[in-house]
Amino acid sequence: MLKRLLYRLYERRLLAEVFRRPLPRHVGLIQDGHRRYARETGLVSLVEGYRLGADKTEEVLAWCAEVGIPTVTLWWLSTENLARQPGEVADVLKVIEERMADWVQGGLVERLGMRVRPIGLLDLLPAGALNALRAAEAATRHQPRMLLNVAVGYGGREEIVDAVKGHLRECFDRGERPDEILRALTPDVVDKYLYTYDCPDLDLIIRTSGEVRLSGFMLWQSAYSEFYFSDVHWPAFRKIDFLRAIRSYQHRQRRFGR
């Protein structure tokens, strides 16, 4: 009981502290540690770890809304993850399919004012998961307060290649010559064709489970991001861990390469 009370007091102090400084406009979440958490806590199956991780995602999104972060990107499944054992991939996709429907029908998106946008190589997904993601996107287009990019079948290199292909395709359609295309190709041009073309670059990336690497997440948009690595597995990520990440970001002097 005393421990819980102290935790609440510390949480309130952290919350008050982060409200006194500028907040990140765009936070990326690399949600790592579902399988390790399931094994370490003796869960019956790995899918239970993913379900607990989805529960945690809902909590974290509520925390983001509470402090007023307008753009969040979740990385739920990478292109490399799609090559895992078929049963495990099916478990992850099943949880995604379930939660997309729950978020819309259960009122989470309405409560948080959250617009859902799936990003990645979505054509690689089975019909059930893709339809659930597209249905959530269609149902939340009007939500005004938070944009949530849900990265499924996502890889940073693939996104950059897709962006360049999109630019070149339009140039070819306009009949532009190769020298004209090369002369006009700039980072600002590529920006317009990214999956997150209408979002600010990532201010803060949080990765859980003790891994200290990006693993291909948002390679273009993370050029000047701040990073926060937590040893806690994603299903066990606490509000104080989240607030510490925000506080850490706020105390850094950002130079943007200068």
CATH code of residue 95: 3.40.1180.10
- Report the distance separating Cα 226 and Cα 67, nearest Å: 18
- DSSP structure class, residue 124: G
Active-site residue flag, 179: no
pLDDT tens digit sequence for 118-173: 999 999 999 999 999 999 999 999 999 999 999 999 999 999 999 999 999 999 99
Tell me, yes or no, whether 49 lies in a domain.
Answer: yes
User: First-to-last CA distance in the chain?
Assistant: 49
Tell me, yes or no, whether 180 lies in a domain.
Answer: no
Catalytic residue among 55, 81, 188, 231: 81
CA angle 11, 103, 43 (to 5 degrees): 70
Name the more confident of 52 and 1. 52
Tell me, yes or no, whether 161 lies in a domain.
Answer: no
Tell me, yes or no, whether 148 lies in a domain.
Answer: yes
Number of domains in the chain: 1
Residue percentage of the chain with pLDDT more than 70 = 100
**Domain encompassing residue 97:** 23-154+202-250
Tell me, yes or no, whether 32 lies in a domain.
Answer: yes
Active-site residue flag, 149: no
Lowest-confidence pick of 4-8, 87-91, 139-143, 157-161: 4-8
Catalytic residue among 32, 91, 201, 203: 32
Tell me, yes or no, whether 193 lies in a domain.
Answer: no
Tell me, yes or no, whether 185 lies in a domain.
Answer: no
- Report the distance separating Cα 243 and Cα 14, nearest Å: 6
Tell me, yes or no, whether 197 lies in a domain.
Answer: no
Cβ partners under 8 Å of residue 251, min gap 6: 21
pTM, two decimals, is 0.95
